[in-house]
Structure formats: C-alpha cells, structure tokens
Amino acid sequence: MSTENPFHNKYSLVKGAARRARQLQSGAQPLMDTKSMKACKVAQDEIRQGRVTFVVTPVVKDLSPLEQHEV
C-alpha cells in the first residue's frame, strides 16, 4: 500500500469531502471548531487542516489462470 496522500487530485478531494459531509449530516461531530454551519464547508476545512484521513485500499484482481478452451 502506498503512503501517498489520498487527496492527490481534485476528484479525490471532492469524493472525500462529500463522504465526510454525509457523515456530518448523519450526526457525526465536527473534528474542529468552525464558523460554518454547512456540512460541505466543514468537511473541506477538516480535510485542509489534516483532521480527516481516508484509507485507500487497493483493488485485488483475480489472478487465477485462464480457463483452457477446447478447439
């Protein structure tokens, strides 16, 4: 597994912020004091401050041998 920042591009950042915003809307407590009441902005602030971390798990592909086809 890579130790690379999971928010290495804008798409990853948006996906992470959306997931955290859904957690906040579902009742999770903010991880820091913020002036905003909007879940999306709070999530962005938490990510920017390094308070939120996500683990990116690699996809394991099936490496079984291919079936032999009769001709």
Q: Where are the alpha helices (DSSP H) in the chain?
A: 10-25, 39-48
Mean per-residue pLDDT, 50-66: 74
Residue 33 corresponds to which amino acid? D
pLDDT in tens, 36-48: 899 999 999 999 8
Domain range spanning residue 41? 10-48
Which range scores top for mean pLDDT: 21-25, 44-48, 60-64?
21-25
Whether 33 maps to a domain, the answer reads: yes
Question: Does the CA dihedral 45-23-26-30 come out positive or negative?
Answer: negative
Q: Please give the pLDDT value at position 1.
A: 39
Crossing angle, helix 10-25 and helix 39-48, to 10 degrees?
Answer: 130
Under 8 Å between Cβ of 30 and 46: yes
Domain tally, the chain: 1
Question: What is the reported pTM?
Answer: 0.66
Q: What is the pLDDT confidence band of residue 11, given thresholds at 50, 70 and 90?
A: confident
pLDDT at 60 over 90: no
Is residue 22 a part of any domain in this protein? yes
